Structure 1
Amino acid sequence: MFWTIVGWILFGLIAGFIARALVPGKDDIGVLRTIVLGVVGSVVGGFLFGLLTVGLRGFQPAGWIGSIIGAIIVLVIYNKVTGRKSRPRA
């Protein structure tokens, strides 16, 4: 159980950092939010993959690519909701 949680944290951290690198602009959200972004992105990616392929089977984690795509979607939504990156910086 402990190693499963550690695995999810590392997986989320990596997927979140990749998503942050792919979305243009600067993101000052910190490590904890990056981990949450990656984990939530994995669930969103699994949900979308399920909808597009085998049908909805509940929330399930996605693979690396699905997790990164999900994390990008979550990051863009987060930026829109919080108003980040809405104004160009001089």
Structure 2
Amino acid sequence: MERGWFGWLLIGLVAGVLGKIIMPGKDPGGIIVTILIGIAGALLAGFVAQSMGYTLDGGFESYAAATGGAVVLLALYRIVMVRRVR
């Protein structure tokens, strides 16, 4: 199934929730920011995968890539926000 930007947004919602489950804790932005980071991570993972020549046709690999992107962005977000709060 060909997935456009709307599909990656939906996968990003799931990835954001999975990212919150994988990296629990008190985030400065709460669950909404975590979901938005999941969407950004999904879009980033899709872009990086396509630029490297991989095709993410859906299924497990799309969710795994999106969740990985969400976890990376969530970790970066936590680092930046912790430094900003101090």
Q: TM-score, normalised by structure 2?
A: 0.63
Q: Deviations over 1:29-85 (max 9, x none)?
A: 33431221111010121233235x418xxxxxx81111000000100010011117x
Unaligned runs of 5+ in 1: 56-61, 85-90
Residues 1:28 and 1:80: Cα distance change in structure 2 (over 3 Å): closer
What is the match of residue 70 of structure 2?
Answer: 71
Instruction: Name the aligned partner's letter for residue 72 of structure 1.
Output: V
Quote the residue 1:80 is aligned against: 79
Which residue matches 2:43?
43
Q: Which amino acid letter does the alignment assign opposite residue 70 of structure 2?
A: A
> Normalized per residue, which structure has more helix?
2
Tell me how many residue pairs correspond in the alignment: 73
Q: Answer 1 or 2: higher relative contact order, Cα 8 Å, separation at least 6.
A: 2
- Report the TM-score, using the length of structure 1 for normalisation: 0.61
Q: Distance in 2 between matches of 1:30 and 1:19?
A: 12
Is the deviation greater in 24-33 or in 41-50?
A: 24-33
Amino acid at match of 2:12: G
Instruction: State the identity as a percent.
Output: 30
The Cα of 1:24 is off from its aligned counterpart by: 4.8
